[in-house]
Structures are given as C-alpha cells and as structure tokens.
Amino acid sequence: MDVGDHPARTLVLVVEDDAELCRAIARCLEQRCCRVVTVDSVGPALELADHFDIGIFDLNLPDGFGVGAARELLARGTLGRAVFFTAAHDPPLLRAARELGPIITKSSGVSNLIDTIGLA
C-alpha cells in the first residue's frame, strides 16, 4: 500500500492566516506522514465536514477567534483535540483557549508545536 493512501495517517486541520507560517507547519506535519488541510479563517474551518484528529488554531483570525472554531468543531465531534499556536497576549482569550487544549507561543517555533502534539 502506498504511504499516501494509508488509512491510519493522522488528519490535521491547520487554521492560520499567515500563509508562510501555514505552509511551514503543513510541511513539517507532512514530513511526519500526516494528511493536512489548511484554511485561513474561522468560516472555512467550520464548513469542513471531515473528522480531524488534531486541529491547530491561531487565536486571532480575520473573521473571528480560533478558540470559537475549535470549540464548535469539538462540540460537533469532528475534531479529536485542539492545540493553539499563537502570538496572542489577551488573558481572557488565552484562558478560554487553555480550557480546550495546550497553547504554544509562535515565538517558541514550529518544532515545539510538533513536539507538543506528539508527532516528533
């Protein structure tokens, strides 16, 4: 069976509006044999019908907050777990995110993100 068709691969949703950073995250995940779907805002994330093992969310997005998208997808049962990769400093927003999953600061790097979600 071709690795690209292997059904056990982790399906990861990346919700990030910085296109360059989003590509970097996707490349790192794909190198670890994950299947990756990327979107740049809340609206498109909520339109997806797939079940994602992991969602990586920026907190500040053009049309809302990643924590809201994560909360909705978790409630629907279409997301296994949420991780937040952000540069946000707003305490209430960070507190809300922390209730749903770990927060990794963007300044700590993509490798720290990958380590945190357990795909090293």
Structural domains of the chain, ranges and CATH numbers in brackets: 8-117 (3.40.50.2300)
Whole-angstrom Cα distance, residue 59 to residue 56?
A: 10
The candidate with the shortest Cα–Cα distance to 101, out of 114, 116, 112, is: 116
The candidate with the shortest Cα–Cα distance to 45, out of 8, 82, 9, is: 82
Q: Tell me the pLDDT of the chain averaged across its residues.
A: 91
Asked if pLDDT for residue 24 goes beyond 60, the answer is yes
Asked if pLDDT for residue 31 goes beyond 70, the answer is yes
pLDDT of residue 8: 56
Whole-angstrom Cα distance, residue 11 to residue 112?
A: 19
pTM: predicted TM-score of the whole model, two decimal places: 0.91
Put the strands of the sheet holding 11-15 in their side by side order: 35-39, 11-15, 52-57, 79-86, 103-105
pLDDT in tens, 58-95: 999 999 999 999 999 999 999 999 999 999 999 999 99
Other Cβ atoms within 10 Å of 113 Cβ, number: 21
Whole-angstrom Cα distance, residue 29 to residue 61?
A: 21
3-state secondary structure of 102: coil
pLDDT of residue 120: 55
